[in-house]
Structure 1
Amino acid sequence: MADFPAPAEGIVLTHFLVSDDVDRSRAFYTEVLGGEALMDGEPTIVALANSWIIINTGGGPTDDKPSITLEAPHDLDRVSAFLNIRVADIAAVYADWSAKGAQFLTEPIDRGPEIRCYLRDPDGHLIEVGQSRR
């Protein structure tokens, strides 16, 4: 089992995703992408490769973020951040994740120094999958 993302020293980087359906997103990140659920419920924490994904529902302002509302993406053509997953064999990952239900925007495209493609999670969060050729 992966370690819970609570460092004894230093820092740990996690990625927080707002989901309209936390169980559906947990299933995507564990069953399709191969992560390991460390905690279920709200929040859900999934260990994925050498990082962690925290999945929770959105909500309105709180005293520590007084003007901020968290919500899942609503305009899928406008993105300000996305997950970037680097893989050793993009063809194998594309075939495996596609067979498990991942919906890629395109097949992997050779860009010279890298081969890459994109997919979305069930809430519409964009994920880049790339293989370096350097």
Structure 2
Amino acid sequence: MTHHGDLPAPQQGLLLTHFLTVRNVEVSRQFYSDVFGGEVVMEENPAIVKVANTWIIMNPGGGPTPDKPGVTLEAPRSGERVSSFLNVRVADIAAFYTHALAHGADFFTEPIDRGSELRCYFRDPDGYLIEVGQSTGLLAGIHATTPMKSN
């Protein structure tokens, strides 16, 4: 199944997609379509899920190719150290949190008030870190990075 009209192919300019090297395409495709309410655009080779105004592209790893010599793609080996993560902004973090929990997301904590935003983290089936945040104080000019104290 391919929905050609929904493929990430701009008519002009550019658009950003996010490519993930995954261990199991079917599991990851289902996770991103369920947790984020994404639309499966391509089942595999690669799998593409349209999520809001972006696309998540998933394929197994592999060795170097002529256009990326010396580069091997592989899923994360460990979750303790990361160099990048998916940052998702939502309008209603409580609703997203409830929805994601119901679809198997395993959050580190409930959303925490950081002053400028409400935020929480979880991992996908391959261990990729995902931040979910809702701007709150940031919209009022608050740029705090520590939790707000309640009295």
TM-score (norm 2): 0.86
Aligned counterpart for 1:117 among listed residues 115, 120, 131: 120
* Shift of residue 6, structure 1, vs aligned partner: 0.7
Q: Tell me, which stretches of 5 or more residues in structure 2 are unaligned?
A: 140-151
SS in 1 for 2:31: helix
- Compute the RMSD of aligned alpha carbons: 1.1
SS in 2 for 1:101: coil
Residue of structure 2 equivalent to 1:81? 84
**Matches of 2:30 and 2:44, distance apart in 1:** 12
Residue-by-residue CA offset, 1:20-47 (whole Å, 9 max, x unaligned): 0000000000012210000011200100
Q: Which structure dedicates a bigger proportion of its chain to strand?
A: 1
Residue of structure 2 equivalent to 1:57? 60
Q: Tell me, which stretches of 5 or more residues in structure 1 are unaligned?
A: none
**Matches of 1:105 and 1:55, distance apart in 2:** 24
**Matches of 2:34 and 2:23, distance apart in 1:** 18
**Matches of 1:105 and 1:34, distance apart in 2:** 21
Structure 1's consecutive aligned runs of 4 or more residues displaced over 2 angstroms after TM superposition are none
**Matches of 2:17 and 2:30, distance apart in 1:** 18
Residue of structure 2 equivalent to 1:25? 28
Aligned length: 134
Residue of structure 2 equivalent to 1:5? 8
One-letter amino acid of the counterpart of residue 111, structure 2: P
Give 1 or 2 for the bigger CA radius of gyration: 2
Q: What is the identity percentage for the equivalent residue pairs of Structure 1 and Structure 2?
A: 62
| More contact order relative to length (CA 8 Å, sep ≥ 6) | 1
